[in-house]
Structure 1
């Protein structure tokens, strides 16, 4: 958990179904915590991602953010008791089948515990090909 004396700070607007806030800046859509990290620390180095020391996806407090590897981020998630649920190929195939019937992606996402964005990526074969 965060050792910062600063409390968590919510991003602007409403969070997406995956818990992250989104902001448009200079014509590009950013996950708001990534935009804050970019402003605070500069561009994200290759092979790194923005991690939350507070483990709150919606938090945009710069003192709670850092650049780290995916491996270290997943380790923190597990250590802090948050569940990282990676889909299996059979679940992705089931999501793709349901999406191809025209069922609302938001409803599919709720049933499988993933974001609507994840359902869209699977349906468009941008992930889990």
Structure 2
């Protein structure tokens, strides 16, 4: 389900639309609800660095975030909509 209000605990049926998890996250990003700290070109670069063997910790230092956040990006658990 897609949440039109970006409130994860909301259960108002008027705030829900049919859609995938990825579509829901994309909607929230576009509205500035979550994960708005990176641009798509940065996400691609982060994944590229990781694919080349750069550790999540090293990448995190470069982007001033946590290694866990970088790992989630590289595993496509965050920003899955960025190809």
Write out the 4+ residue segments of structure 1 that deviate beyond 3 Å after TM superposition. none
Task: Return 5+ residue gaps in structure 2 as ranges.
Answer: 1-7, 11-35
Indicate the structure with greater helix content: 2
Q: TM-score, normalised by structure 2?
A: 0.52
- For 1:114, the equivalent position in structure 2 comes to 65
Say what the alpha-carbon RMSD is for the aligned residues. 2.1
Higher relative contact order (CA 8 A, sep 6+): 2
Higher-Rg member (1/2): 1
Preserved contact between residue 95 and residue 108 of structure 1 (Cα < 8 Å): yes
1-structure distance, mates of 2:71, 2:39: 16
1-structure distance, mates of 2:42, 2:51: 14
Number of residue pairs the alignment of both structures matches: 49
Task: Return 5+ residue gaps in structure 1 as ranges.
Answer: 1-44, 48-84
